[in-house]
Structures are given as structure tokens and as C-alpha cells.
Amino acid sequence: MIIRMWRGKTSLENADAYAAFTSKTAGPDYSSISGFKAFYFTRRDHADHAEFLLITHWDSLEAIKQFAGEDYAKAKYYPEDQGFQLDFPEEVEHFEVFDAG
């Protein structure tokens, strides 16, 4: 199994709307890919912004490529993200799971 992690941030004012948008849009998008296992979309509020961490679980890198394309280390954004995100990290992180409980 492979874990894919992406981080982003929004203003506090946009955080609730971004969380709702992501649940409505990203969840079904990820779930439509063969080899997708699960996602955890998390939020942590700071004094001046909200930080989001998205952790997805996949069967393989091939499954991730179905979602993200051949350059699977590149972050995937939706057009609507332009109205929410304060910055756009170019890459995501991948970790191979070698043990789980």
C-alpha cells in the first residue's frame, strides 16, 4: 500500500467552505479510481490560516497514476482551488506502508 500526502492552507474565513467543497468534490473523485483505498482529510486552525492535510491510501503507484497522471509526485488541483488556497505546493509526498496494525 502507498500513502500519498498533500498539505494546503486557506484563510480562516474560507476554511469551512473549502472543507465542504473538498468533501463534495475530492471524495467522489478519489473513490472513482480503481486501487483507491481510503482518504483522511484533516484540518488544523492557526491564528491566521487553516492548514489542511490530505492523506490517501492506494494499492499501488499505478493506481495513483490513474488519479494524478504519469508525473504522480505533482499535486493535483481542481479549478475551484484558486478561490480557496493561499499557496499551491507543487509536489506531494508518498510513503510505502511496510507494516500496519
DSSP 37-84: EEEEEEEEE-SS-EEEEEEEEES-HHHHHHHH-SSTTB----GGGGGT
Contacts 24+ apart (CB under 8 A), 67-73: 67/29, 67/30, 67/33, 67/36, 68/4, 68/92
The whole-number pLDDT of residue 27 equals 87
Query: Which CATH number covers residue 12?
Result: 3.30.70.100
The model scores a pTM over 0.85: yes
- Is the residue at 75 inside a domain? yes
Instruction: Give 10-residue mean pLDDT values along the chain (101 residues).
Output: 97 96 91 95 97 96 95 94 92 95 86
Within a domain: 101: no
* Euclidean distance between CA atoms 18 and 84, whole angstroms: 6
pLDDT given for residue 18 in this prediction: 95
Give the range of the structural domain holding residue 17, as residue numbers without chain letter: 2-96
What pLDDT, on a 0 to 100 scale, did the predictor assign at position 63?
97
